[in-house]
Amino acid sequence: MPPTLTMKRENSVISAAIEPMVRVTRSRAAVSEKSMVASTGELPKQRGQKRALQISSDPAILRVRNKNVPLTSCVEQKCRPVLKDVTNLCCNTSNGDAVKVPKKKKIMRVGNSSMNVSTTSVDPEVSQFPAKLPPRSSLNQSCSDRKSHEQQGNAVEIKGFPRKSIVRKAVPDAALSTSTKLDFIDIDSDKKDPLQCSQYAHDIYNNLRVAELIRWPLSNFMETLQRDITESMRAILVDWIVEVSEEYNLVPDTLYLAVHFIDLFLSKNYVERKNLQLLGITCMLVASKYEEMCGPRVEEFCFITDNAYTKNEVLAMEILVLNFLGFRLSTPTAKTFLRRFIRAAQASYKNPNLELEFLANYLTELTLLEYGFLKFTPSAIAASSVFLARWTLDQSSHPWSPTLEHYTYYKAQHLKTTVIALQGLQLNINNCLLNVIRAKYRQEKFKSVACLSSPKLLETLFQT
């Protein structure tokens, strides 16, 4: 293309972009080019991507910028620097030096306490635990707040105090805080026996204390739900179950777990009087499958009821019970806590005291008959049984020791109401005619602990 035609086309493009209605001469074109360069130099350095694309798409401006801007500078602006380790660092400065980002302190709340955690705004790191964790009471309190009793908004009680309604009170800090100042005996120091799980016993029983509050039966289902059965009918059923467990030599955990399933089912389901015994043998069947090495068969449970129920009826009730429980059969009972509390009570003895162990088991088993003891937690019942057993056997010293206070998380004043109610069962103040448990512990193999009686409880025993 001849140079004259090229110059004419360029002049027409510039004139169309700047002054489309005026005749363009060479002098005017030169002036317009200078003004265009000045206007492009005054543009701000930082612009959005969309605006930059609109400016660079103008052919006249592109030709002018190509004349005045070096090629190397354009390349440097488009190339990105090599990525480096940016942990705790921001982008490189113009001098190439990295600048550290100051850490920001955030407050993370756990229960009722708070702790500081250092984090960064560039690369979040794994937060480290503080040097001192909040007390266990606040953690257990937050856990009990999250899991309300039977999902009905009920608070929970761990102190063992009775109350007028079904609401169980929250764990007090004084009751759950381990007393480090007390001179207690370490019962988990013997790590030779692997069955004792000495390394994990402390954590296991802390979790059991929380688990006992989650799925425990309500204490007023007789008044609110059940209309065809009474407290005395329930007591007769439990007394008969104790007799059956003795006849088949079942382990004590089967007995406690069966009674727990009965109360839990009655808390949420209406049961007629004719099906109460069917519920009893079904819960024994489920508990024996969970606890026993070789439990009784379904036909044997039908036989002990004098064939009042058929095998199909027992299996149908078993389906109802298991679906109601959600197949979650592991629940801590009073027997679960009693083993550890007896071990703590005998920590200062040179030889195990079998009479103390049998008496504590006898007192705990008596509570299975009484509907009114459902308002106390299993750990409170077990601790009160140890308290009353020690007082029955020896009045020369205080029945509650620093070791028991450390491992049960209960002080003597927290057990006052439970111990007084338990002594009423021991002395049979209400003249209960159900004597299967009493006859069981009058045997010589249990040291005849059912024949013992405790003296009057002193008020000074429950003072701090």
What pLDDT is recorded for position 29? 63
Report, as an integer, the average pLDDT of 150-178: 39
What percentage of the chain reaches a pLDDT higher than 70? Answer: 60
Report, as an integer, the average pLDDT of 407-431: 94
pLDDT of residue 194 exceeding 70, the answer is: yes
Secondary structure (DSSP) of 230-292: -HHHHHHHHHHHHHHHHHTT--HHHHHHHHHHHHHHHHHS---GGGHHHHHHHHHHHHHHHH-
The SS3 of residue 397 is coil
pLDDT of residue 392 exceeding 50, the answer is: yes
Dist CA 110 CA 141 (whole Å): 10
Dist CA 409 CA 400 (whole Å): 12
Is there a contact between 355 and 361 (Cβ–Cβ < 8 Å)? no
Same fold, 137-212+332-462 and 221-325: yes
Report, as an integer, the average pLDDT of 157-169: 38
Q: Which of 198-202, 308-312, 360-364 has the lowest mean pLDDT?
A: 198-202
Q: How confident is the model at residue 22 (pLDDT cuts 50, 70, 90)?
A: low
pLDDT of residue 25 exceeding 80, the answer is: no
Question: What pLDDT digit, counting tens, does each position of 92-122 carry?
Answer: 444 444 444 444 444 444 334 444 433 333 3
What pLDDT is recorded for position 361? 97
Structure tokens at 32: 């317009």
Q: Which helix H or strand E contains 119, and what residues bound it? A: strand 113-119
Q: Report the chain's terminal Cα–Cα distance, integer Å.
A: 112
Q: How confident is the model at residue 189 (pLDDT cuts 50, 70, 90)?
A: confident
CATH 3.30.70.100 fits 137-212+332-462, yes or no: no
Question: What pLDDT digit, counting tens, does each position of 56-69 carry?
Answer: 444 444 444 444 44
Q: Tell me the domain boundaries of the chain.
A: 1-33, 137-212+332-462, 221-325
Dist CA 113 CA 129 (whole Å): 14
Average pLDDT, the chain: 74
The CATH code of the domain at 221-325 is 1.10.472.10
Secondary structure (DSSP) of 298-342: HHHHHHHTTT-S-HHHHHHHHHHHHHHHTT------HHHHHHHHH
pLDDT of residue 428 exceeding 70, the answer is: yes
Question: What pLDDT digit, counting tens, does each position of 349-387 carry?
Answer: 888 899 999 999 999 999 999 999 999 999 999 999 999
Q: Which of 50-64, 178-192, 198-212 has the lowest mean pLDDT?
A: 50-64
| Angle between helix 252-268 and 311-325 (nearest 10) | 80
pLDDT of residue 275 exceeding 60, the answer is: yes
Structure tokens at 428: 């049979």
